[in-house]
Structure 1
Amino acid sequence: MEENFEQNTKPEYSENFKFKEMWKLSTERLKAEEKAKKYPNLYQYLQNLQDPNLG
């Protein structure tokens, strides 16, 4: 039963899905890096919010 399931799944669909996920993550990362350039202290500020011992 499981072997049939493996054969019936479309590999191109999963590859396409993986590509879209990678694309989404990379664009989110680029946006985050752009914000980090605009606000250099923001990253440290957020780190301090997450870990009050550092502040």
Structure 2
Amino acid sequence: MDKIVDLEHFNRMTKILDVHNINYDSMLFEEEGHGFLYLKNVVSFYAELDQFFRKSLNLEPL
């Protein structure tokens, strides 16, 4: 549970993006707050971030 940013902010933002047909990527970790506690989630986050940059910048996969 994030005590800094309410999940409702995320829900409103994604709803507006959907209404306007704007593509986006998102990740939610149910057991995390406003940061990372679990190594598995850090690894997942950076793997997705790496894929995002490689796709956006037309870089070769590792």
Using the size of structure 1 for normalisation, the TM-score is 0.39
User: Which protein shows a greater Rg?
Assistant: 1
Larger helix percent = 1
Q: Specify which structure has the bigger relative contact order, considering alpha-carbon pairs within 8 angstroms and separated by 6 or more residues.
A: 2
Using the size of structure 2 for normalisation, the TM-score is 0.34
